[in-house]
Amino acid sequence: MVRALDLDTVAPDDQIKSPPTPSLTKEGKNIILNNNVKLPNNQKNRSTTPKDMVDKNMAIFRQKVYDVLGHTSNPLSSFLVKPHVFKFREQDDAEEIILVMRPHWFTNVSWIIMTMFMLMVPTLVRFLPVWGGVPLRYQMLGILFWYMVTLAFALEKFLSWYFDVYIITDERVIDIEFRNLLDKKFSEAKISLIQDVASNVRGISQTMFNYGDVLIQTASAIPEICFEKVPNPDKVIKVLQMMRQEEEQEAIDGRVR
């Protein structure tokens, strides 16, 4: 079977008719180049682009997230919603912090009671019979040293709580842990990579004061992130669900950062 060498002569392709390009007059070109041209008001309203509409929808959606969370202003709060001052080193310029959490204040009660007991020890020691035989300067130094140990204990516990921070931004979840002076951890996962979220509230105190663990399963290198003993775990889960929806919508709109 002989084949035609020139297929275009046998079955020519359909010609694609390109839309006529509007030819700009000299005056029209000048209007486009000159950005200072003022449009009349009715023309301005008509020029709302789809991008503006999407941005407006996202702003409404974000407001719904903040409505769920409520509002806090105390810097030592365990549940800081949209903090104005708070920043972290790995934060991107365009990244917005939605929520910052620390372990619930009730988790501090045990070490505060312990500290108060430690402060009372020098008073109790005076009742021991051997204490009277110790020279005064040793007594003074011993008491001073004990108070310093108490201060160190309280300071270490406070710092462990203060720098144990969980952050939800519009892009990711972050866990900065400061377990003790020589052990710290930073882990993060993108919200789009979150697979499952679960909460765990157990015991009398957690039920009474509404705090617990929030477990986040991710598809990233860190398979699980745990927000330990955070207040309002149900709200956190709700917000993470909303943020995941927002991320999905962003992916559909092609606005992934």
Partner 1 sequence: MIPDLSIYLIILEKIFAFVGTGLYLIFAVVIVKQVSMMTKNVYDKFNAVVIVFSYIHLALAIFLMVMGMIWL
Give the residue carrying structure tokens 């008491």: 143
155 binds partner 1 (CB under 8 A): yes
Token readout for 160 is 């462990």
Q: Is 61 or 105 the residue whose CB approaches partner 1 more closely?
A: 105
**How does DSSP classify residue 132?**
G
To partner 1, the closest distance from the beta carbon of 181 in angstroms equals 6
Task: Return the amino acid letter for 117.
Answer: F
- H or E element: which one contains 179? strand 172-180
Distance CA 77, CA 247 (A): 28
| Buried b / exposed e along 213-231 (16+ C-beta atoms within 10 A) | bbbbebeeeeeebebbbbb
Shortest approach of partner 1 to residue 158 CB, angstroms? Answer: 8
* Contact flag: residue 124 with partner 1 (CB under 8 A): no
Helix, strand, or coil (residue 246): helix
Supply the minimum distance, in Å, between the C-beta of residue 118 and partner 1.
15
- Please say which residue, 197 or 225, places its beta carbon nearer to partner 1: 225
CB of residue 160 to partner 1, shortest distance in Å? 10
Cβ–Cβ < 8 Å for 188, 90 = yes
Please identify which residue in 64, 87, 179, 185 interacts with partner 1, judged by CB under 8 A: 87
Rounded CA gap, 226 and 101, in Å? 12
Among 66, 88, 106, 209, binds partner 1 (CB under 8 A): 88
In the bound state with partner 1, the residue whose beta carbon lies nearer, of 59 and 140, is 140
CA distance 32 to 226: 54
- Does position 168 bind partner 1 by CB under 8 A? no
| Of residues 62-81, those binding partner 1 (CB under 8 A) | 75-76
Interface pick for partner 1 out of 165, 168, 239, 243 (rule CB under 8 A): 165
**Token digits for 212?**
């617990």
Footprint of partner 1 on this chain (CB under 8 A)? 75-76, 83, 85-89, 130, 133-135, 137-138, 140-142, 144-145, 148-149, 151-152, 155-156, 159, 162-163, 165, 176, 178, 181-182, 184, 186
